[in-house]
Chains A and B, each alone.
Chain A
């Protein structure tokens, strides 16, 4: 399934500035140097509210996933990915996916639907071939 249209709001403006130029921005704590998810408003490691935006490497592994079946649409895959920096992101998984995605190494790419912001998706870090 192609990703849908999303518009930015005040909380997501910088994040989508990042996706537009191909950066996956997450939150970095000014106090303890800990990483957190882009939605975080407080550092989960030290509870500081002082968080800055910083680009993630964009690589990680699949924690859990689901193939979603919706009437009128081909099945599509979503998942929770643990970035190498630690934070979890819930996004769509695309590309040539094996049946068992547990711990699959993935990397972020960006789709650019017309009329909306660039949306990050995860795809296998290496081309996967059926055994």
Chain B
């Protein structure tokens, strides 16, 4: 009894004010169920992942009026959560304990600018005690800074340059121009990337992802159940996770190797395919650097050669982040690559559809490269 993704729900996305994350979550689940040709009451399993707002969880069952669930949990592995939820849902479906699982992420970190509140991700003003407080007092309170430190280490070790990272930003914006869901659709050039303001050197503004309000949900069910449903089933052929637990000391691979080096081969082996077979690549891209490091760790190029790889035209031949990714479309943690993967696997990408889409790799990344999840999706069964 193999598991498939049978429904996808994406709410209104971006600078959408006046709605809470739980409201986005409920809407996303309703949209996903409708997309799958199911009613909300058909759902008997629910997995939730809350964003920085921190308020999407078990209460979603009541918000949706769901009765007699046979699976309900909050999942938290940061940016790897979306992939993890699909993995747990697939295992639950394949075991027979549940029929229809909704996996949902929602967040509402952006406040109406007229209210004077900045994005919660900025982090400034938080004043925790203890070790977190020491980092904040030292000026290290933003993911931007942490990823800048990791990026610089890769640059110093392998000679990676900011211009090379710029190729990723430019290529993804070109994809976003063809994505009606994308928030940023105006083309950019390498010069635009280089001239964009510093956030935390060596990261420019155009190295960094967007922040979005909204919600995304997918419906996981069995291939048998999906056979009678309206959407093309997206088969979940393989999956993996990796959580390196970097030691902060000599020999640490922080910034040099991510968990994708483990979760990738695990997922590919389960699917019975190799990296060379992959047609479409949807990578977590909180920063351009995350894309570059992931390409190396999945084996699309050799370790340390990500810079020349992306600058040498690889992003023209390899379909990477075909919706524009978190850099240019919308930032829904791991649901950004997952949602675009479902669209591409179904062949519903419209102007941006990749002609050959038999195997789609989805990569989640959380923390400071601390948590990885990989999915191998396909319109075809094993």
Contacts and interface: CB of A to CB of B under 8 A. Distances in A.
Interface of A: 1, 3-9, 11-12, 35-39, 44, 63-70, 75-76, 78-80, 82, 86-92, 102, 113, 116, 119, 121
A88 B200 contact: no
A68 B152 contact: no
A11 B152 contact: no
Q: Which among A11, A36, A90 has the highest number of chain B CB atoms within 10 Å?
A: A90
A79 B124 CA distance: 18
B208 to A, nearest CB: 12
B149 A90 contact: yes
B270 interface: no
Interface in B108-165: 124, 127, 129-131, 133-140, 142, 144-145, 148-150, 152-153, 156
B17 interface: no
Contacts of B138: 3-4, 78, 90-92, 119, 121
Contacts of A5: 127, 137
16 contacts: A1-B139, A5-B127, A6-B136, A7-B133, A9-B130, A12-B129, A12-B134, A44-B247, A64-B255, A66-B145, A66-B201, A68-B144, A78-B149, A82-B250, A87-B249, A88-B249
A4 B249 contact: no
Contacts of A75: 198
Contacts of B156: 64, 102
Contacts of A89: 248
Main secondary structure of the interface of B (DSSP, over half): mixed
Contacts of B52: none
The 6 A-B pairs with the shortest beta carbon distances in the complex, nearest first, are A66-B148, A4-B137, A6-B133, A9-B130, A6-B137, A88-B248
Interface string B7-42: 000000000000000000000000000000000000
A116 B133 CA distance: 10
B91 interface: no
Given A65-B152, A66-B201, A90-B140, 4 more contacts: A6-B133, A11-B130, A66-B145, A80-B149
Given A82-B249, A87-B249, A119-B138, A65 B130 contact: no
Q: Which among A6, A44, A90, A119 has the highest number of chain B CB atoms within 10 Å?
A: A6
A66 B140 CA distance: 10
A23 B201 CA distance: 30
Contacts of A8: 129-130
A49 B201 CA distance: 37
Contacts of A35: 249
B70 interface: no
Contacts of A36: 249
Contacts of A70: 124
A106 to B, nearest CB: 14
A64 B149 contact: yes
Contacts of B255: 64
A94 to B, nearest CB: 10
Nearest to A40: B248
A69 B199 contact: yes
Contacts of B130: 6-9, 11-12
B140 A4 contact: no
B200 A69 contact: yes
B360 to A, nearest CB: 34
